[in-house]
Structure 1
């Protein structure tokens, strides 16, 4: 430490016992610049040093630390004094700001509450209106229309709600019409089934030397199938199986008309051609529609064991001879009844033998379809009759019905299944 106006002496600083001074000296010898703090017995000093490159020297300036920080200490005292005054002022300002903030918060809170009430009403009014609409529709008032005019999604929702109510009203109207129509159809089917069943025989006659049975299974839509056993002589019976075109009540009524006229004519005329031609003229006279009826009519003479028949456009019956596996179709020339006034019918007579099986049927048997639209068919029916020949007439009918039903599966059938089986004992 030297003053500019005092003398100085040289000294090897690197050999000094003061480690702080040695460290500064090394920095100076290395040609670096910087500031170091060195502790001496009379106090700490700052040594600022920098190289003089032109002469390869290093110059250091020593300044007591107290002289350096004295102004800072004085400034610190001034700052502390000023800080105390400022703290008081700040505290007052904080109190003022707190008061202002609390007031502003209260005002803002009040504004928020008011706005919340306003907007909550804006939001809840449409919802309340939609709720009232839902309650009205739930009570059956499908003419109720919600009134929402907010110009936003609520209004769109209101319009959708009104459209939904209108669609629901139309759906219910359509459903009522459909239900009424279904009930009407169901009622008609019940009436048609009642008419049909009332005109069918309660039981087959007990004929000596013969085993005779008949059956009718109405389809989903009642058709006009019927069969009949008509006493036409002391040992003779008229066997009838017929199929009226059409479905429902009209077919049932036409079936009742046809059955009545055929029965009346058959009891007056022992000849099958004469009786059926007379019945046809009556049917054409009374029929006011384009309906017709196919028919197979045969007179069974139980004493002679003969069958004399005509076929008016009906499915030819199957005759399985005793001791034979071959099935014969009983065909005869003729057209359906109710088409023209005068029909040309062919009469055919066959001789029956013990063990013969005769099967009369309608197209509900052979035209029954399965899920693949395959028909039951005449071949399948012939094979089943041949396999069931040892059964009684009732057993043969049951076997045919079971086989046709199993063949059709879940497929709905729209034609009646009508059968008549005669076994010669």
Structure 2
């Protein structure tokens, strides 16, 4: 409880950068010789100490082939040779890992207490990160372009779960992305999800994406329907950026029943996965890209589909399926479906499936993405 009290003091009088010092002082109270917060970088490649101590020889842990990385990817504790790694989860969002050096493997009761400490640390990181730049300095391994800075500051956490339903997303290139974005919100029994792909690149694309994203939120928070939300975004894009356009998927899921509704505004259809196979894609598009709606006289069409428990929907931008290898061959929808089904069949958690997917796309293009690549997975389970 003394360790909890010291950590709780940071909620009112501390910054994220103060956490390592407080945690080091609290380590003996946890029967630990040392305690270190490791945060995942934007590329989800390695785990780095929060404000590393120059006198501490600890180095980053790769996500792919270390026990710390395994604690991150599986969201389960790992133990080896006097070190315990516990996942740092803010809700379902994977922030990193808590590394504890212990004299002996703790019993069940002590591990339960340490899990509470890890949860509290994750809450402190999530709540205090906006009062300084220590978390950002730790997570950034390359300079971030302004367009990417604008987009990342607009986005919700990459992963969210409610009553067994999960939404998780990835964006690349994470330090340069400017034209892609996603959003979600859970209100009462409805989960709202949207994916946007803006024409162009750089700061002009990020400005257009910002307008589309915030107009969508304004329409949603004003209680507008999918059709009226689509029309509102279309109107504002046409007004503020004449001639520009944004493709989008706007969707709603009734969490209690699995009733799914969506509009595709010039966007590729989501993948529809059930029971280890890909079902036929839903009709797309149902209207023109946002910003070009004045060219049609009819209203956008809402497509409805009844989901079954365990169904998975995967939204993506064309940077995923149009990735090319050295021979010029497209990654394609079939390869995307096969990759997703293979990982889901192996019970890989949805956030980890998305992380693996984006690194597969990067490798497919020899480490140099030609376009922004964004994907989001929505998995429904009955409450």
TM range, normalised to the smaller chain? 0.5 to 0.7
TM-score by length of 2: 0.57
Aligned to 2:277: 325
Matched, 1:377 2:326: no
Aligned to 1:313: 266
Query: 2:162 aligns to what SS in structure 1?
Result: coil
Matched, 1:414 2:373: no
User: Do 1:221 and 1:415's aligned partners in 2 also have CA atoms closer than 8 Å?
Assistant: no
Query: 2:280 aligns to what SS in structure 1?
Result: strand
Aligned residue runs from structure 1 range 173-212, under 5 A: 190-212=145-167
Give, in whole Å, the separation in 2 of the partners of 1:220 and 1:409.
17
Matched, 1:405 2:362: yes
Give, in whole Å, the separation in 2 of the partners of 1:221 and 1:406.
17
* Deviation by residue 1:26-50 (Cα, 9 ceiling, x = unmatched): xxxxxxxxxxxxxxxxxxxxxxxxx
CA displacement at 1:318 relative to structure 2: 0.3
Which of these residues, 289, 306, 312, is aligned with residue 357 of structure 1?
A: 312
Query: 1:257 aligns to what SS in structure 2?
Result: helix
- C-alpha distance 282-210 of structure 1, shift in aligned 2 (>3 A): same
Query: 1:371 aligns to what SS in structure 2?
Result: coil
CA displacement at 1:271 relative to structure 2: 2.1
CA displacement at 1:252 relative to structure 2: 0.6
Report the count of equivalent residues.
235
- C-alpha distance 324-191 of structure 1, shift in aligned 2 (>3 A): closer
* Deviation by residue 1:293-326 (Cα, 9 ceiling, x = unmatched): 00001011101111110000011100101x2423
CA displacement at 1:272 relative to structure 2: 0.9
Structure of greater relative contact order (alpha carbons < 8 Å, 6+ residues apart): 2
Give, in whole Å, the separation in 2 of the partners of 1:375 and 1:223.
22
CA displacement at 1:417 relative to structure 2: 1.5
* Deviation by residue 1:354-406 (Cα, 9 ceiling, x = unmatched): 22111111111101111111111111001111112232211221231232222
* Deviation by residue 1:173-212 (Cα, 9 ceiling, x = unmatched): xxxxxxxxxxxxxxx9711111111111134333112122
TM-score by length of 1: 0.52
Higher strand share goes to which structure?
A: 2
CA displacement at 1:223 relative to structure 2: 3.4
Which of these residues, 243, 267, 277, is aligned with residue 221 of structure 2?
A: 267
Aligned residue runs from structure 1 range 8-407, under 5 A: 190-218=145-173, 222-231=177-186, 233-288=187-242, 290-321=243-274, 323-332=275-284, 333-341=286-294, 344-389=299-344, 390-407=347-364
User: Do 1:298 and 1:307's aligned partners in 2 also have CA atoms closer than 8 Å?
Assistant: yes
Higher helix share goes to which structure?
A: 1
Query: Which protein has the larger Cα radius of gyration, Structure 1 or Structure 2?
Result: 1
Give, in whole Å, the separation in 2 of the partners of 1:204 and 1:419.
12
Query: 1:227 aligns to what SS in structure 2?
Result: strand
Query: 1:345 aligns to what SS in structure 2?
Result: coil
CA displacement at 1:269 relative to structure 2: 3.3
- C-alpha distance 341-262 of structure 1, shift in aligned 2 (>3 A): farther
Aligned-CA RMSD value: 2.2
Query: 1:206 aligns to what SS in structure 2?
Result: strand
Give, in whole Å, the separation in 1 of the partners of 2:174 and 2:332.
18
Query: 1:404 aligns to what SS in structure 2?
Result: helix
Aligned to 1:423: 379
